[in-house]
Amino acid sequence: MSALDVFAIDGTRAVVTGGNRGIGRAIALTLAQAGASVVIAGRDAAQNQAAVSAARDAGLELHAVTADVSRREDADRLAGEAAGQLGGLDLFVNNAGACVHAPALEVTDDDWARVLDVNISGVWHCSRAAARVMKDSEGGAIVNIGSISAMIVNRPQWQPAYNASKAAVHQLTKSLAAEWAPYGIRVNAIAPGYVRTEMAPVDRPEFQRYWIDDTPQHRAAAPEEIGPLVVFLASAAASFITGSVIVADGGYTLW
């Protein structure tokens, strides 16, 4: 196998949660461009179909399953339907996420539950569902989308529920990597910094001072810059990497 061949993921059977917009959609399209067969998952069936149609217009094929990852039964169904459609499962990307910008004393119980249900319970349910499929074949790779919010406290907005959930994602990544290594399942995470999406309005003046000006590269990432990291972690080039958290933040956490 040549130096470049180890990065190939042709034929990889992949699922991307939250794959109908933002970072998730960019990851799904990057995987498809690299030769993977991709199922996207999201709660909004219409938005899922819009993403599939847009990909088709660009000459790429995506499949969609409507599912709420915070519900265990939906996660189990997603893994089963995806494996059935694709003929197996090699890669599962836990990308779906939710955030509430509010000071801790103003966060409601419903806000707290909603963020943790999606961001950590969703990763838990989906990872276990994927692992049950993978361990009975030849293993596979799970990639969790964490955040630099697991390492810092964001400013000027407060978002304690999100920060706590992403710290949990990073630690769960390590726990599952250790436990599932004997099954040939690698579990890693990516911790993006500020990425230009609907969830991160990086161009608003009140945020730009902290999110952009304080970043050594003085810019936010495009969603498309995260996809290649997923390709790497899915490929044979990352065969000895598990339990790692790869930070992609333009240097933000260096200060």
Catalytic residues: 162
Q: State whether the Cα torsion 102-104-110-112 is positive or negative.
A: positive
Distance CA 209, CA 41 (A): 34
Distance CA 43, CA 45 (A): 6
| Cβ-proximal residues to 126 (8 Å cutoff; 6+ apart), any chain | 17, 69, 75, 78, 79, 92, 94
Q: Are 51 and 27 in contact (CB under 8 A)?
A: no
**Tokens coding 144:** 């969790």
In terms of Cβ atoms closer than 10 Å to its own Cβ (0-12, 13-18, 19+), residue 8 is middle
